Structure 1
Amino acid sequence: MVQAHSQRPRIHYVLEGTDKAPVLMFSHSLASSTVMWEPQVKHFHRSFRVLRFDTRGHGKSEAPEGPYTFQLLADDVLALLDSLEIEKVHFVGLSMGGMIGQELALRHPDRLLSLTLSDTSARTPQEAAKVWEQRIEQVKREGLKPLLEGTMERWFTDAFRKSRPPLYEAIEQQFLHTPVAGYIGCVQAIMKLNNLDRLSSIRTPTLILVGEEDPGTPVSVAEEIHKRISGSKLAIIPQARHLPNVEQAERWNRELETFLSSLTL
């Protein structure tokens, strides 16, 4: 396992798995980090080189003042790949990570072997942008702690939260430790998201995953993305909300594994 920082701003990454295997790259949600991909590392590290990274403003990466844009966040990904001399990856993004993945597929499809979009959106409606603006003001005043309970309710079902497995605790702590500048910078990018009418130009093999009970990026949003990307596959994960890769890791991993295997047939 290699754990290091690269480029400016410093981007923290973890690279582990089978030498010379294809690279499977994971991009996390807003206010999370590499920690949310632990179930995927355990499952995929024998068949792939698994590359996780903390988005600018998150985890152990630097958090310069924003605003950020998805072009900027995608450029961070490209700089990381260039520094590691990795030409192409299977890119997996959840929520904000899926928005970064869309930007890569639209502007740099030559760097992607495949694209997986989990629990994400391609457009931020005006009414949602107003909610994000309110959150920015609250975080400026009070930090992220007041948002914790509501966020965990959106991310996980009641039953999962009550069971409080160790990874849930780690995700809570990572949320609380997200730098305010990084959170606000990324929210400003999300507020301007408007890819929906561009998705039809994506030609990269694409899998779309979504938790059946996700309230933030619901099944209807995943279906809309699925319709726009020709040849894409859609899988709905039952008994899961916004982070099905954690809550229903076995099912989520199986869907991703089946998709990746189909690309080599």
Structure 2
Amino acid sequence: MMQRITTDDGVDIAVEHSGNPDGAPLVLVHALGVDHTIWDLVAAPMRATRRIIAIDLAGHGVSEVRPSTPEQPQTLERLAMDVEQVVAALGIERADYAGISIGGMVGQVLGVRNPAWLRSLTLVCTVSSMPVEAHVLWDERIATVRDQGMDALVDATLARWFTAEFARLAPSALDQVAAIIRTTPTDGFIAACEAIKGLNMTPHLGGIAVPTLVISGAQDASCPPEAGRAIAAAIPGARFECLEPAAHMPPIEAADRLWPLIDGHCA
């Protein structure tokens, strides 16, 4: 079931409910440029026992785009507030959270903010800081999308997100992801890129006090395993796991190995 929840700044956030309505809630947040459906293969085996809350970030999927300007860019803090407000609107008192890529960045912000509902964190294929020298890359992607649209990013994105062997064995899976990327609103993608440029959670990770699992893909060039290990080392009591083989999109490439890790961590 899809539902729309309006945030305090008037942006409608889309949420898909599935699974056992009486089960322990698990909030899932996707990567940049896609939507909540990338979690489908992970959520499927957990639906019998868990209540799945899969959120489309602002400007992704069927959520509204949040206006974002260079003077007032969208931030990860704002995206974390969206998640908090969704959880509150649903009347959820305690929930686990799993996020991949930008979803993992939002998860770090939530961990530091420490909302009362947050029971555990799973951070998948993510990083904790974005150095200034990397801003050029993000500015180039923003310029490409403005000039050529989302289609211009598809081939390079798929090459980064999946191992060559998976791409050979499962071309239809890549086609599905490509279709989602192409339909992501340009302004929504750009606003999320601006949020990522502001990522600076490394100095604050020691303040995360909930049980945390950090998962990397061994072949992930975007968010390499050493970045995941560093996040886990900085969070008190955190555990690190590395999936081999897997690149940046384990919810699709390694769903059969990812979901037991998340489910066991949330137990």
> If the length of structure 1 is used for normalisation, what is the TM-score?
0.95
Name 1:14's counterpart in structure 2.
Answer: 16
Name 1:133's counterpart in structure 2.
Answer: 139
> 2:45 and 2:185 mapped to 1: Cα distance?
30
Conserved? CA contact 2:158–2:174, under 8 Å: no
Name 1:235's counterpart in structure 2.
Answer: 241
Q: After superposition, give the CA deviation of every residue in 1:103-149 in whole Å (9 maximum; x if it has no partner).
A: 11111342211000000011001221110011111111111111111
2:158 is equivalent to residue 156 of structure 1: no
Conserved? CA contact 2:42–2:256, under 8 Å: no
Instruction: Report the secondary structure of 1:60's partner residue.
Output: coil
1:177 is aligned with what amino acid? T
2:85 is equivalent to residue 83 of structure 1: no
> 1:41 and 1:91 mapped to 2: Cα distance?
13
* Offset, 1:245: 1.7
Name 2:35's counterpart in structure 1.
Answer: 33
* Offset, 1:165: 4.9
* Offset, 1:201: 0.9
Conserved? CA contact 2:84–2:115, under 8 Å: no
Conserved? CA contact 1:36–1:167, under 8 Å: no
* Offset, 1:164: 3.1
Of the three residues 166, 178, 192, the one matched with 1:186 is 192
1:46 is aligned with what amino acid? A
Name 1:257's counterpart in structure 2.
Answer: 263
Question: What is the number of equivalent residue pairs in this alignment?
Answer: 260
Of the three residues 28, 38, 44, the one matched with 1:42 is 44
2:44 is aligned with what amino acid? K
> 1:205 and 1:196 mapped to 2: Cα distance?
17
> 2:79 and 2:46 mapped to 1: Cα distance?
25
Unaligned runs of 5+ in 2: none
2:160 is aligned with what amino acid? R
Name 2:56's counterpart in structure 1.
Answer: 54
Name 1:63's counterpart in structure 2.
Answer: 65
> 1:163 and 1:220 mapped to 2: Cα distance?
27
2:152 is equivalent to residue 146 of structure 1: yes
Q: After superposition, give the CA deviation of every residue in 1:49-77 in whole Å (9 maximum; x if it has no partner).
A: 01101000001000132121011101111
Of the three residues 106, 109, 119, the one matched with 1:103 is 109
Conserved? CA contact 2:66–2:74, under 8 Å: no
Q: After superposition, give the CA deviation of every residue in 1:164-205 in whole Å (9 maximum; x if it has no partner).
A: 354432211111111111101010010010010100111110
Conserved? CA contact 1:70–1:99, under 8 Å: yes
Q: After superposition, give the CA deviation of every residue in 1:4-60 in whole Å (9 maximum; x if it has no partner).
A: 211131111111111221101100000010110111121110111011010000010
Q: After superposition, give the CA deviation of every residue in 1:187-234 in whole Å (9 maximum; x if it has no partner).
A: 001001001010011111000001010001001100110110010011
Of the three residues 185, 189, 207, the one matched with 1:201 is 207
Conserved? CA contact 1:109–1:204, under 8 Å: no
2:98 is aligned with what amino acid? V
* Offset, 1:260: 2.1
RMSD, aligned CA: 1.1
Instruction: Report the secondary structure of 2:14's partner residue.
Output: strand
* Offset, 1:242: 0.3
> 1:43 and 1:172 mapped to 2: Cα distance?
24
1:221 is aligned with what amino acid? A
Identity %: 30
Unaligned runs of 5+ in 1: none
Name 1:74's counterpart in structure 2.
Answer: 80
> 1:161 and 1:46 mapped to 2: Cα distance?
30
Instruction: Report the secondary structure of 2:116's partner residue.
Output: helix
Conserved? CA contact 1:35–1:170, under 8 Å: no
Conserved? CA contact 1:56–1:73, under 8 Å: yes
Instruction: Report the secondary structure of 1:110's partner residue.
Output: coil
Conserved? CA contact 1:99–1:121, under 8 Å: yes
